[in-house]
Amino acid sequence: MTVLLFDIDNTLLDFDKAEYEALGKIFEHYQIPDTAATRAIYSRENKALWRSHELGEISREELLGTRFERTFHALNVSERFNPVAVDEEYQLYLSQGHELMSHADELLNDLSAKNQEMYVVSNGTSRVSRPRIFESGISEYFREIFISEEVGHHKPSRAFFNHVFDHVESADEKDFAIIGDSLTTDILGGKNAGIKTIWYNPKHLEVSGMVTPDLEIADLLEIPSLVS
């Protein structure tokens, strides 16, 4: 039986909603206008830093310590706030968002009933990811949770997956498959590790770049027929 590695954010848990609500609380608390333009600025800075982190150009600490600094600088409010303290508060708000993606609960129930071996593989931070996973009620389905901050490596690096393989003794590397929404972390990571890749693409985005998934799904309930 295939061993399944599940990404969490926007695969099983709705990170976009958690992020939207957490950012709204930050803007309200610090009296920053909550507009599409201010949100776009944060998104631009945050995504650029995460991409640099995934490429190994900056550390996670630098990412978390500078995303609000860069956002506030772009908004011309940098002198008013401590960006590190703001990010601490933001992560607390993020950790409280644990709404499931469509059909996630049904999928995990179905796979669990079939004794499917499943693990979490996340690039999130421990203080955000673990509360969301446990409070959502899905932690019971997974034999182990691998979070990049704890592993010391992140997707898409081969080192992250080597760590997972070393801790899962029940299967050979060829028996693994990763399910995730990100081409640049989940799918590229799976390709780097030489395992099957399943791209969860509910928004029907086009494949971009040089990464092509082995399989593509728009609904999580498609997974059981692909791994049986």
Active site members: 7, 9
Determine contact, residues 64/57, Cβ cutoff 8 Å: no
Determine contact, residues 132/18, Cβ cutoff 8 Å: yes
- Per-residue buried b or exposed e for 98-108, using 16+ beta carbons within 10 Å of the residue's own CB: bebbebbbebb
- Other C-beta atoms within 10 Å of 132: how many? 25
Residue 22 CB-density burial (10 A; 0-12 exposed, 13-18 middle, 19+ buried): buried
Q: Which residue type sits at 6?
A: F
Helix (H/G/I), strand (E/B), else coil: 13: strand
CA 111 – CA 117 distance, rounded (Å): 8
CA dihedral 153, 156, 162, 167 (to 10 degrees): 70
Two tokens, residue 31: 């009296």
The C-alpha R_g of the chain, in whole angstroms, comes to 18
